[in-house]
Amino acid sequence: MGDCILVTGGAGFIGSHACLELLNNGDEVIVIDNLDNSSEESLARVQEITKKEITFYKEDLINADAIDSIFSKHKINAVIHFAGLKAVGESNTIPLHYYHNNITGTLVLLNVMKKHKVFNLVFSSSATVYGAAETVPITEDAPLSATNPYGQTKLMIEIMMRDLAKAESEWNIALLRYFNPIGAHESGKIGEDPNGIPNNLVPYISQVAVGKLKELSVFGDDYDTHDGTGVRDYIHVVDLVLGHIKALEKLKTNPGLVTYNLGTGNGCSVLDIIKAFEKASDIKIPYKVAPRREGDAAKCYSDASLAKEELGWVAERDIEIMCEDVWRWQKNNPSGYKA
C-alpha cells in the first residue's frame, strides 16, 4: 500500500504529471488547486490514463479553514507543494499579488501541516533563485539572489523552510530547484496549457507550429554561446516529477532539509530547440531576432550530480523526445484543455 500524498497545484502542468506518476507508484493522491492557471480536465485525463481515482478540492491555500478541514479528512503522509503564480513578467507588474499568493499560501500550508503533524514536504523551487549566475554549471551551493518578484517568492519560501527545519527537527523538507521543464506525457493527453500567450519558449514554438501564433521572437543572437542565442537546461517534465518521487523516498530517511538541482546538466540554445522542434513536427518555425531582454543570462544550466548521488535520480529523456512529446500534445490539443 502506498502513501497518501497531498499535491498542491496538482491540476497544473507539472502537478498533473506528478499526480500521474504518484498513482502509477501506488500512492493515494489528494489535490488542492484553485484552478487559477490550470484546468480540472488535466486531472480527469490523469484518471483516464491511470484508471485510478484522485480526490480533488477546488480550494485556495490562502483559505486556512478549508485547508485545515482537508487535512482533518485524510491521513496525509507527505505534501508536494507546486501551487503558486509563476509568470516572471507578470510578477513585475503585480508584485504584491505574487507575494501574497505564493508566500501567504505557503505559510498557511506549513501551519496546517504542523497542526496535523505532517512534517514531510517537497517544495517546487526554481533555478531563478540563482539570479544571474556568474558561472555554469550551477551547483546547489552557488550564491542565491533573484531578479524579479516571482524569483524572490521562491527564494523567500526557501529561506522560511530552512529556518523552520533548523528550529524544529521533526521537519524533513526537500527543496527542488527546477531548470526549464518542457515535454508532455507520452500519451499526448496531458501537457502544458498556458493562459493566453505563452511566456515560455517551447509552448510558444508549439503554438506557432500549430498555427495559433505567427512567429517566434528570438531575444538576442549575440550572446557568447555556440550560436549566439541563449542556452538553458531543458528537462522533460516526466523526468522532473520522477525526481519528486525519489525526493519523497529520501524524506523517509529523516534527512532534515535537503536541496537538489533537477536538470539534465546540458545546455541547449534557442536555435537548438527550434531545430529539434522542426524535426519532431516536420514544420518550419518562422522566427525573427529581437533585442536581448533585460536580465537574461547567456548560459544557465545545472550541475545535477548531487541528485544522482543522493537520490539515485538522473534525467533520461533527451531534447528530441521532449520536442516529440510536446508536439504530440499540442497537435492532439490545439486549444489545450479547452476542447
Cell 527546477 belongs to 178
Orientation of helix 105-115 relative to helix 64-73, angle to 10°? 40
Q: Reply yes or no on whether 150 is catalytic.
A: yes
Q: Which of 150, 178, 204, 234 does the annotation list as catalytic? A: 150
Q: Are 221 and 292 in contact (CB under 8 A)?
A: no
CA–CA distance, 49 with 185 (Å, rounded to integer): 10
Spatial contact of 289 and 221, defined as CB atoms under 8 Å apart? yes
Joined together, the cell numbers standing for residue 145 give 539572489
User: Which distant-in-sequence residues (6+ apart) come within 8 Å of 148 by Cβ?
Assistant: 88, 91, 92, 128, 295
Q: Which amino acid is at 45?
A: R
Q: Is the omega angle on the peptide bond into residue 286 within 30 degrees of 0, that is, cis?
A: no
Q: Respond yes or no on whether the N-terminal peptide bond of residue 137 is cis (omega within 30° of 0).
A: yes
Of 322, 232, 313, which Cα lies nearest the Cα of 280?
Answer: 322
Positive or negative torsion for Cα 63, 69, 72, 76: negative
DSSP characters over 84-114 = S---HHHHHHSHHHHIIIIIIHHHHHHHHHH
Instruction: Show which residues are catalytic.
Output: 150
